[in-house]
């Protein structure tokens, strides 16, 4: 089975091609510090070839949701050290996913400060989970050019902090409607300066952040996650093929480890003007980087994707959440636990560290 074969990723030799995808679990404390349950959670899943952490806020300004972890205070760094040491003792490889939520946030969990974004355009048609319950999204503060430049530096500092915390690398979360994704899309970016307008300008933020990360920790320790056709949080592209063809070709010029491709979730309809082609076929061949395919794969579809030869690894979300020993279960063709959606976000050990192992 190709899924269980080793593969080289950057400077790491991974024991299999199964990646644990980043999943928000909302188990940090009010100061963004993870605890012993989080140590156990990641250690349980260290049989993955690669683990990507839940999104970790790169700065206080990046925070959008309650009980999400950070990587910008010494207390947060020290807490993550316990996670990485335990994972490494189990032979695991773990990258920190670097997260800035942008407009996907609320002042209720930002000490009264409005969320920030490329433009002052609120998300409509959905609400945001906050410490005060579900609330309508607010119109965000438009980042000044100076603030954009500072945010880029914040990503670089967070990457350095990740190295101090013992992570093997970092992944830029540029998918799923968060800040880098907001810069890329016309629906959320109506700037008229060097960070808006043309495809080249709208791509500038992502490319500058990636270069900052590479400069900070070395390209072999850097990856990026993108979601070209996933319309979560009001993200709509006028021409997603043109936008991401340009972005991928520019990324090809950089030296980094991998590109994680988040396909459109089956829960979201395909927008009328979006291509109906298979995303990995359409875009994946454009990239010269090691490609990780993500979104709703099972054992059979993941193996079939790897056999095509475009994607080299597959990342699994809820399936890894519910099955800490997922590679072993695939190897033995064992029955899978089903994820309890009611316990995914927030709470204690229930639905977090109490999923049964097969053996």
- Mean pLDDT, consecutive 10-residue stretches, the chain (359 aa), reads 96 97 97 98 98 98 97 98 98 98 97 97 96 96 98 98 98 98 98 98 98 98 97 97 98 98 94 95 95 97 98 98 98 96 95 93
Q: Do the Cβ atoms of 223 and 257 come closer than 8 Å?
A: yes
The CATH code that applies to domain 2-343 is 3.20.20.70
Active-site residue flag, 232: no
- What pLDDT score was predicted for residue 359? 72
Name residues whose C-beta falls within 8 Å of residue 98's C-beta, 6 or more positions apart in sequence.
Answer: 55, 56, 58, 71, 155, 158, 159, 162, 170, 171, 172, 173, 213
pLDDT confidence of residue 23:
97
DSSP H stretches of helix in 109-260? 145-164, 179-184, 199-217, 240-252
Of the candidates 44, 78, 185, 61, which has an alpha carbon nearest to the alpha carbon of residue 116? 61
Question: Is the pTM for the entire model greater than 0.85?
Answer: yes
How many H helices and E strands in the chain?
10, 14
Q: Which helix (H) or strand (E) holds 76?
A: helix 74-89
- pLDDT, residue 46, reads 98
Catalytic residue among 41, 72, 178, 232: 178
Residues in the chain: 359
SS3 173: strand
Answer whether 170's CB lies under 8 Å from 223's CB: yes
Pairing of strands 94-99, 50-57: parallel
Q: How far is CA 144 from the centre of its chain?
A: 25
- Compute, in degrees rounded to 10, the torsion defined by CA atoms 177, 179, 183, 184: -40
- Which pLDDT score is estimated for 138? 98
| Beta strands 133-136; 127-130: pairing state | antiparallel
Distance CA 241, CA 282 (A): 9
Half-sphere exposure of 252 (CA within 13 A, CB side): 12
Which helix (DSSP H) or strand (DSSP E) does residue 171 occupy?
Answer: strand 169-173
- Residue 323 · residue 329 · CB < 8 Å: yes
């Amino acid at each position: 089975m190709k899924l269980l074969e080793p593969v080289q990723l950057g400077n790491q030799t991974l024991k299999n091609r199964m990646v644990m995808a980043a999943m928000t679990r909302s188990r940090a404390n009010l100061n963004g510090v993870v605890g012993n349950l989080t140590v156990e959670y990641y250690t349980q899943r260290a049989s993955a070839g690669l683990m990507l952490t839940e999104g970790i806020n790169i700065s206080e300004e990046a925070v959008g949701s309650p009980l999400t972890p950070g990587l910008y205070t010494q207390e947060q760094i020290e807490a993550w050290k316990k996670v990485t040491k335990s994972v490494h003792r189990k032979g695991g490889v773990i990258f920190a996913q670097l997260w800035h939520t942008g407009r996907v946030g609320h002042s209720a969990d930002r000490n009264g400060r409005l969320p920030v974004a490329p433009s002052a355009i609120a998300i409509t048609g959905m609400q945001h989970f906050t410490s005060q319950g579900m609330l309508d999204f607010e119109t965000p503060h438009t980042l000044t050019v100076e603030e954009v430049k500072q945010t880029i530096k914040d990503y670089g500092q967070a990457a350095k902090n990740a190295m101090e915390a013992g992570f093997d690398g970092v992944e830029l979360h540029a998918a799923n409607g968060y800040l880098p994704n907001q810069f890329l899309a016309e629906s959320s970016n109506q700037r008229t300066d060097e960070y808006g307008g043309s495809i080249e300008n709208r791509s500038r933020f992502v490319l500058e952040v990636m270069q900052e990360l590479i400069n900070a920790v070395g390209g072999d320790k850097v990856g990026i996650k993108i979601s070209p056709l996933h319309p979560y949080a009001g993200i709509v592209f006028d021409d997603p093929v043109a936008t991401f063809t340009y972005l991928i070709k520019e990324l090809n010029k950089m030296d980094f480890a991998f590109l994680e491709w988040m396909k459109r979730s089956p829960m979201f309809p395909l927008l009328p003007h979006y291509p109906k082609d298979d995303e990995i076929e359409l875009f994946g061949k454009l990239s010269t980087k090691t490609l990780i395919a993500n979104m709703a794969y099972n054992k059979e579809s993941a193996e079939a994707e790897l056999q095509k030869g475009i994607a080299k690894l597959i990342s699994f979300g809820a399936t890894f959440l519910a099955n800490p020993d997922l590679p072993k279960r695939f190897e033995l063709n064992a029955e899978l636990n089903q994820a309890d959606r009611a316990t995914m976000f927030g709470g204690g050990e229930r639905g977090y560290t109490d999923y049964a192992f097969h053996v």
